[in-house]
Structure 1
Amino acid sequence: MKLLALAFAAGLASALGFQPIGAWPVTILAFAMLLWLVERAPSRRSALARGWWFGLGQFVLGLNWIATAFTYQAAMPAWLGWVAVVLLSLYLAVYPAVAAGLAWTWGKGRPLAFVLFFAAAWIVTEWLRATLFTGFAWNPAGVTLVGRSIAPMATIVGTYGLSAFVILFAGLVWIAAAGPDRRPALVLAAVAIAGQIAAALVVPRAPDGAGPPARIVQPNIGQELKWSPAFADRNMAQLTRLSNGHDGEPRLLIWPEAAVTEPLQDERRGYLPDVLDVRRRVVAAIGPGDLLLTGGVTAQSEDGVSASSATNSIFAVGPGGRILARYDKAHLVPYGEYLPMRPLLSAIGLSRLAPGDLDFEPGPGPVTLPVPGAGLVGFQLCYEIIFSGEVVDRAQRPAFIFNPSNDAWFGAWGPPQHLAQARLRALEEGLPVIRSTPTGISAIIDSAGNLLHSIPMGEAGVIDARLPLPAPPTLFARHGNILPFLFAILLAASGWLVRRRAIAEAPNSR
């Protein structure tokens, strides 16, 4: 039990590498402790248990922001938020457990092979976590390396491959500390140096120059006020005030997710006057010649009378309130934007976290849409940006990705973690990412994942800047998640060769 408690403590420590703490060396040390614990396990069952307790600690602390979301939902008690965090973590911890079990099975007793197998297994299990049961890709291990010199390796092996480098670095620490044979540590050090060199050589650079001028608006409208009809006029006045004050060339005006909470498009007969009134108020907030990109909602109707569903959308609004383009969010958040098993769960008093009784309908997936004055734009709404390899229509590459979000209900940890993952998408795809959120963190991220401009959490403000240009497509942008899988195969094959050589040399050592 003491070793399981140690695994849990190491998992807690590993979460300190995620934002807003950002103590990435602690994460490396915590994973080194995990490697030591798992490799010393007396059985596969024990190895699985130690990996599971490590994962439980990491997810319980790293996902604490989910509990904050429940404080904005009057239909359910706030304490249920921590129940949700624990229950989700109990499930997510299965993936580190599987990686630990596989590494123990193939590499037990041979430290270098064990580390290589663990890194390969971590790639696969992290991808599975992001894929199965709609996927939950939040906080991959590799995101702790954003801003570090090894981070550009994501342009080659993606986020899941970058996570493998966390394991390799941890293995280097563990083997170097364990002694006396440090030759395996030298091998891992050579791999790390090769990764650094490759990252420096192959990252495409964006051309000189800049794109269209833009103003990103962060109105600092809290979640408790956002959907309140009593504050609708005040909220629109805040957006209008921050949007005005520009008399230069036409620009892109960029608002957050669901900045307009009343439908901008409505299929119900008789609601056209309401829609036109909403559009008139939106148009009053934008300058002549400006084009607005804003989050909003639609109301859909099967009979033309009552609303049957809705979409969480991004609209490009032009002169006169004309809708020039619309993107519907595809990767919806379970329990946030739709309630699974609605008849059963609603009968016991549960509801979705976002306001409203209608579930959102998903859109078709990543699309690139032509937007006047902006060119080809890719769209990823809020949570969608966390899914590596799933954010761009590869058949029609955009000039940038617009990622409006609403992080207002995710406490102090959720928004900076969300931003860090958006930086990884920019790096992987070689595309700028533009973020606007109600309460922060709004930002402009360049194609190398650098944070060019940002507005802190809890502040109202604007960013006036020209948008950065895209870089040429990265290797990852061209081939996607096949690359981390090839990296996993390479690591596993290397582990197998090391294991085979160790077995062959064993008789000679007697």
Structure 2
Amino acid sequence: MLSRPLLVALAAGFLSATGFAPLDWWPVTLACLAVLLHLAWHAPRLKSVLLRGWLFGLGHFTLGNNWIQHAFDYQDKMPPVLGYFAVVLVAIYLAIYPAIAMGLAWRFARIVKARWNEPDIAFVLAASAAWIGSEYLRATLFTGYPWNPMGVIWVPTPIAQLAAFLGTYALSGLTLFVAGALYLASQHQYRVPLATAALLLVAGVALNPGRPVEDPARPHVRVVQPNIGQDGVDAPDYPARVLAKLAEWSGQPGAVKRLVVWPEGMVNYFVEDGYPRQYYRDGDPRWVRGRIGGLLGPGDRAMIGGNALFFEGETLKGAGNSVWTVDPAGMLGERYDKGHLVPYGEYLPMRTILAPLGLARLVMGEIDFLPGPGPRTLEVQGFGKAGVAICYEIIFSGQIVDKAHRPDFLFNPSNDAWFGSWGPVQHLAQARLRAIEEGLPILRATPTGISAIIDAHGALIGIVPAGQEGAVEAPLPAPLPPTLFARAGNWLALLAALASVVLAIAFRRWAR
């Protein structure tokens, strides 16, 4: 049976996830992190602090990733009840990272001792540095899974604008520092909490971008949401029904040129020429492209999501989760292939080993998607340069922009129909943080919501809510000059972690 500190750690971790969308109870998250720091400080042994940190993470990631279960509702090969086990199994692994962070902070507190046996700013700084490192590891090891980094809790507040100067992982470290200030206040140490509150207040006022301003002289963008999910995806009329609904909401050409964007994978026909004849049984690609081009005026363009096929001779080797530009004549422009694929969702790792064990049932298709080369900028005539981040690629901080060819905006087609009510709003919050980091507007198109036009400060210009069909149209937001993060990337996280450690050691020496 769990002891009281372990139960408190588990409960605090569970409640800490309420700081993310859709609840956005970020003060609760800060309070729960303060509890975690208290538990870490008072742990008698390294084994104890690791267990407390792990149980905190178990509760945190179980609630925060509850939307994963919903994906199993659409997997005919696997019973939906397995989705609940999947959520816990994922949390069991992800909880390792908070455990590592607290273990490092605890070890620092024992190695670099103070004159008194009570928490201090040095311990808080060490915990902040360790959290930065653990979140970065979570985002990179085993292909990475950086869903809901702690810094995302600030998205509803002006503090999120600090991401342009710090990046996401350093912002998460700042979040731990703020929680540490709360913990120190509970220990009747008030100088650090007061200074932290004052700095946050000044930063919030100074960085508040105000209400977004639209420039009517800029070309328009129209984001289409057909509200067609995974139900009936195997029906013979599904491709035609989806294409008709997308066309219905794409609007009519007008005096202002428009960029019409569609969600991930919604064109269920092959649109490229040159494949073996048998792959075109659902429709001639010239007819499909002509149907799309016919929706556009002379100056309009479309960006669509579908699948490419890759062959060696006549042998099919794999598919691409891809985006193309389309002109009014139905001609395809440049293509982007998703580079950061979802393991067990878009491909089966070690297929030759795992497929005979029956694990091929975890993936939807009979063939794997193949990864593209990474961030790429596409030229969209009349609208500038577009970066593309398909679906969950948008959650990878510092990995979505071709820095040698900085785009004017980012296109984030996604399919969140799999992910219940919590997944889409959390996905949107992380997209808003990417906009702030890079200083670039984002066009986010999903089949069932939430679709949105996001400006370069992360503000929502317009949305189509979840569960509704429709479209949102507005002038294409302008990009900002490259932010500090856009120039330096995640080196800022390393610098923030190192600076925290140096300051922690300096404060301890000064205390002696």
TM interval, short-chain normalised? over 0.9
Give, in whole Å, the separation in 2 of the partners of 1:352 and 1:435: 30
Q: Give 1:8 deviation, angstroms.
A: 0.7
What code does the residue aligned with 2:445 have?
S
Within 5 A, what are the aligned runs for 1:106-505?
106-107=108-109, 109-179=118-188, 181-189=189-197, 192=200, 195-196=203-204, 199=207, 211-226=218-233, 228-265=235-272, 267-270=274-277, 271=279, 274-304=284-314, 306-351=315-360, 355-502=364-511, 504=512
SS at match of 2:55: helix
Q: Deviations over 1:221-262 (max 9, x none)?
A: 011234543322222111111113343333111100011022
What code does the residue aligned with 1:282 have?
I
- Asked whether the equivalents of residues 314 and 327 of structure 1 are also in contact (C-alpha less than 8 Å), the reply is yes
Q: Give 1:361 deviation, angstroms.
A: 0.6
- Asked whether the equivalents of residues 267 and 299 of structure 1 are also in contact (C-alpha less than 8 Å), the reply is no
What code does the residue aligned with 1:350 have?
L
What code does the residue aligned with 2:372 have?
G
Give, in whole Å, the separation in 1 of the partners of 2:233 and 2:291: 16
- Residues 1:494 and 1:186: Cα distance change in structure 2 (over 3 Å): farther
Which runs of 5 or more residues in structure 2 are unaligned?
Answer: 111-117
Give, in whole Å, the separation in 1 of the partners of 2:59 and 2:30: 15
- Residues 1:460 and 1:197: Cα distance change in structure 2 (over 3 Å): closer
Q: Give 1:20 deviation, angstroms.
A: 0.7
- Residues 1:46 and 1:376: Cα distance change in structure 2 (over 3 Å): same
Query: 1:75 maps to which residue?
Result: 77
TM-score by length of 2: 0.93
Query: 2:113 maps to which residue?
Result: none
Q: Give 1:165 deviation, angstroms.
A: 1.9
SS at match of 2:405: coil
Worse-matched range after superposition: 317-326 or 96-105: 317-326
- Residues 1:442 and 1:210: Cα distance change in structure 2 (over 3 Å): farther
Equivalent residues, number: 499
SS at match of 1:452: strand
- Asked whether the equivalents of residues 206 and 471 of structure 1 are also in contact (C-alpha less than 8 Å), the reply is no
- Asked whether the equivalents of residues 75 and 350 of structure 1 are also in contact (C-alpha less than 8 Å), the reply is no
Give, in whole Å, the separation in 2 of the partners of 1:479 and 1:44: 35
SS at match of 2:398: coil
Q: Give 1:132 deviation, angstroms.
A: 0.7
Give, in whole Å, the separation in 2 of the partners of 1:121 and 1:210: 47
- Residues 1:207 and 1:252: Cα distance change in structure 2 (over 3 Å): closer
SS at match of 2:425: helix
SS at match of 1:161: helix
SS at match of 2:319: strand
What code does the residue aligned with 1:73 have?
Q
What code does the residue aligned with 2:48 have?
S
- Asked whether the equivalents of residues 239 and 267 of structure 2 are also in contact (C-alpha less than 8 Å), the reply is no
Q: Give 1:337 deviation, angstroms.
A: 0.6
- Asked whether the equivalents of residues 436 and 442 of structure 1 are also in contact (C-alpha less than 8 Å), the reply is yes
Give, in whole Å, the separation in 2 of the partners of 1:246 and 1:200: 36
Give, in whole Å, the separation in 1 of the partners of 2:205 and 2:459: 19
Worse-matched range after superposition: 428-437 or 278-287: 278-287
Worse-matched range after superposition: 393-402 or 107-116: 107-116
Query: 1:507 maps to which residue?
Result: none
Q: Give 1:387 deviation, angstroms.
A: 0.5
Give, in whole Å, the separation in 1 of the partners of 2:416 and 2:122: 42
Give, in whole Å, the separation in 1 of the partners of 2:447 and 2:362: 17
Within 5 A, what are the aligned runs for 1:31-50?
31-50=33-52
Give, in whole Å, the separation in 2 of the partners of 1:417 and 1:261: 27
What code does the residue aligned with 1:249 have?
V
Q: Give 1:17 deviation, angstroms.
A: 0.5
1:99 aligns with 2:68: no
Q: Deviations over 1:8-54 (max 9, x none)?
A: 10000000001111111111111011111111111111111111110
Give, in whole Å, the separation in 1 of the partners of 2:497 and 2:355: 43
SS at match of 1:408: coil
- Asked whether the equivalents of residues 155 and 427 of structure 1 are also in contact (C-alpha less than 8 Å), the reply is yes
Q: Deviations over 1:298-348 (max 9, x none)?
A: 1121122x4221000011011332111110000001111101122333323
What code does the residue aligned with 1:185 have?
P
Give, in whole Å, the separation in 2 of the partners of 1:335 and 1:266: 29
What code does the residue aligned with 1:139 have?
N
Q: Give 1:164 deviation, angstroms.
A: 1.4
Query: 1:508 maps to which residue?
Result: none
Which runs of 5 or more residues in structure 1 are unaligned?
Answer: 505-510
- Asked whether the equivalents of residues 161 and 487 of structure 1 are also in contact (C-alpha less than 8 Å), the reply is yes
SS at match of 2:386: strand
Q: Give 1:382 deviation, angstroms.
A: 0.7
Give, in whole Å, the separation in 2 of the partners of 1:129 and 1:413: 21
Q: Give 1:155 deviation, angstroms.
A: 0.8
- Asked whether the equivalents of residues 157 and 484 of structure 1 are also in contact (C-alpha less than 8 Å), the reply is yes
- Asked whether the equivalents of residues 76 and 350 of structure 1 are also in contact (C-alpha less than 8 Å), the reply is no
Give, in whole Å, the separation in 2 of the partners of 1:353 and 1:246: 43
Give, in whole Å, the separation in 1 of the partners of 2:424 and 2:45: 40
- Asked whether the equivalents of residues 210 and 467 of structure 1 are also in contact (C-alpha less than 8 Å), the reply is no
Q: Give 1:133 deviation, angstroms.
A: 0.7
SS at match of 1:497: helix
What code does the residue aligned with 2:226 have?
P
Give, in whole Å, the separation in 1 of the partners of 2:245 and 2:461: 25
Give, in whole Å, the separation in 1 of the partners of 2:416 and 2:459: 21
Q: Give 1:472 deviation, angstroms.
A: 0.8
Worse-matched range after superposition: 131-140 or 334-343: 334-343
SS at match of 2:336: strand
Give, in whole Å, the separation in 1 of the partners of 2:411 and 2:275: 29
Q: Deviations over 1:389-436 (max 9, x none)?
A: 111111111110000100001000000000000000000010001101
Query: 2:114 maps to which residue?
Result: none
RMSD: 2.1
- Residues 1:495 and 1:193: Cα distance change in structure 2 (over 3 Å): farther
Q: Give 1:488 deviation, angstroms.
A: 1.2
